[in-house]
A and B are shown apart, each in its own frame.
Chain A
Amino acid sequence: MAWVERIELIDFRNWSSTVFSPGKSGITAIVGDNGHGKTNLIEAVFYASTGGSFRSSTKDVLIRNGSESSILHAIVTTKGRELTIDCSINRSTRDRHLVNKKQVPRISDLRSEIPVIEFNPDDLQLVKGSPMNRRTLLDDFLSMLSRSSSRLVDETDRILKQRAALLKSANRSTLEEVNWSLDVWDKKLAYAGTDLADRRESLVLQLQPLCAELYKELSGGKGEMEIHYSRSWKGDLESALIANRDEDLRRQQTGVGPHRDDLLISLGGMAARLCASQGEQRTISYVLKAGMCLLLNDQLGEPPVILLDDILSELDSTRARSVLDVMPEGQVLLTATSVPTSVESIAEVLRVVDGRFADV
């Protein structure tokens, strides 16, 4: 199973220098007051295994105040082999990300190497927020399942940007020239976009029964959760693009394609975004990611490393325990201001005070 053996943090967020070794038993609870650096530990694990942060898109905030760079050294085992990961995040020079001492050629390829899923309170946006949140989630899941999907996601994004640039510059050339060029980019977008939508749809079909089952378990049998992939076009994408071309040229943006699709989530037949209560929405967002953990366990033959950032605080003690119990049996790193009594017996607890481990 995917397992973080240890991670050393140097000048990462508020941690000046420390080694974090998760417990051997599976569940490690990182406990401390707010603002003392619990989430930063989880973020470091996530950064080392994916090359990105789930909290911030600017790297400067990852580097400790007054330092020029921040360094992470991690040892992770997955698929039966041990990986050593060395990252440096630098204010003024290029970042480095080495796996087994070799620079990773494409950071997005890491996603299919080390399976990690993180949960955080903002996941609520998966239900409440814009469709982009849900598309990004599906693309991230696809990237974890195969590298070819991760390339496809990047490629589709690049084609969309090229087409958008073409639409923006269209008024500078003749209509005939624009149409010739659009024909080419439409064909490329149709090919990549259909492939991406097909992959997302088949992923949703695989997740659907897992999510329905999980939701039932966590809600005590109340309400039927369903997910469904909805395309922004009918028939084949190339014809849809051509039919929509005049509109696209006028609005200077691509109106149909995988970047306009959505993942529809319903509870008892009603749109969860509009009708579900806050608590139900929270459970749904949890179930989406937990379903993916089960699917990964199934398809990769090992559970992913599960990072739970401040997830238990919203739940009572029994529910907190059942949230952990539905997960595949693997490594869980969680943060909390206090550990619910039902979880205390199964977790190894580490206390954090002001960027240090209190026990050390």
Chain B
Amino acid sequence: MYTPSIRSLIEELGKLPGIGPRSAQRIAFYLLRSETNDVYRLADAIKSAKDNAMFCETCFNFSEGVMCSICSDQTRDRSIICVVEEPKDVVALERSREYKGLYHVLQGALSPIDGIGPDKIKVRELLVRLADKTITEVILCTNPNIEGEATAMYLARQLQDTGLTVTRIASGLPVGGDLDYADELTIGRALQGRRQV
């Protein structure tokens, strides 16, 4: 039905996360109808992002050099490290503007089903970083799902004899929401994690 080059474009687009065969077809037709320059600009953006993107050698977040902008920012609090699963989690935490410390991106969470053990994520690199005596606190900010909790638990055990303050991010009610809209699991967690006022 399609020419080989169009078919291959649809196939490649269909491999992207969240894009099914129909969306892939729609995007492909959109691109083919677009101005040539627009399409080239998109292609260049993909290519240059891929060529220039590398991981920060310290925290393993995306970076355009050996050290990312957060790790090289001398105004940030260098005594505290927040451990997250993915670069997008750094973006989420940065959006809050509440956190001024450093990050460590594990690039995944423990999940034996997917063949991901501690050696497949950046655990060893974290332990090496923590040998630096300026660091006093580690916040475990992995996702509040089964794999994220297991990862946090694993790290907490690895760190228990290091003398560092190890904390886990709280889970509970969303701010600005109504109590009766929250699901019972979230409310249960929020109750467990209540604090004195």
Binding site for B on A (CB under 8 A): 93-94, 146-148, 151, 155, 158-159, 161-163, 165-166, 169, 173, 177, 180-181, 183-185, 187-188
Contact = CB atoms under 8 A, between A and B. Distances in A.
Contact of A162 (B118, B146, B158): B146
Nearest to B153: A184
Interface in B144-190: 146-147, 149-150, 153-154, 157-158, 183-185, 188
A177 B118 contact: yes
A169 B115 contact: yes
Contact of B185 (A148, A161, A162): A148
B184 A158 contact: no
A177 B110 CA distance: 13
B111 A162 contact: yes
A188 B150 contact: yes
A187 B153 contact: yes
B17 interface: no
B146 A184 contact: no
A177 B119 contact: yes
B65 interface: no
B148 to A, nearest CB: 11
Contact of A158 (B118, B119, B146): B146
Leading 4 A-B pairs by shortest Cβ distance: A165-B112, A166-B112, A165-B113, A184-B154
B153 to A, nearest CB: 5
B117 to A, nearest CB: 6
Nearest to A185: B150
Contacts of B117: 166, 169, 173, 177, 181
Contacts of A161: 113
A24 B111 CA distance: 52
Given A180-B157, A183-B157, A162 B150 contact: yes
A31 to B, nearest CB: 42
A188 B185 contact: no
Interface of B: 20, 110-113, 115, 117-119, 146-147, 149-150, 153-154, 157-158, 183-185, 188
User: Does more than half of chain A's interface fall in helix, strand or loop, or is it mixed?
Assistant: helix
Contact of B154 (A94, A148, A181): A181
B189 to A, nearest CB: 10
Contacts of B110: 181, 184
Contacts of B113: 161-162, 165
20 contacts: A93-B20, A94-B20, A148-B188, A162-B146, A162-B150, A163-B112, A165-B113, A166-B112, A166-B117, A169-B112, A173-B117, A177-B117, A177-B119, A180-B154, A181-B112, A181-B154, A183-B157, A184-B110, A184-B150, A188-B146
B118 A181 contact: yes
Contacts of A93: 20
A81 to B, nearest CB: 15
B159 to A, nearest CB: 13
A165 B113 CA distance: 5
B157 A147 contact: no
B122 to A, nearest CB: 16
B185 to A, nearest CB: 5
A183 B157 CA distance: 9
Contacts of B111: 162
Nearest to B184: A148
A199 to B, nearest CB: 13
A163 B113 CA distance: 8
Contacts of A181: 110, 112, 117-118, 154
Contacts of B20: 93-94
Contacts of A158: 146
Nearest to A183: B157
A2 B183 CA distance: 22
B157 A159 contact: no
Nearest to A163: B112
Nearest to A106: B183
A333 to B, nearest CB: 30
A211 to B, nearest CB: 28
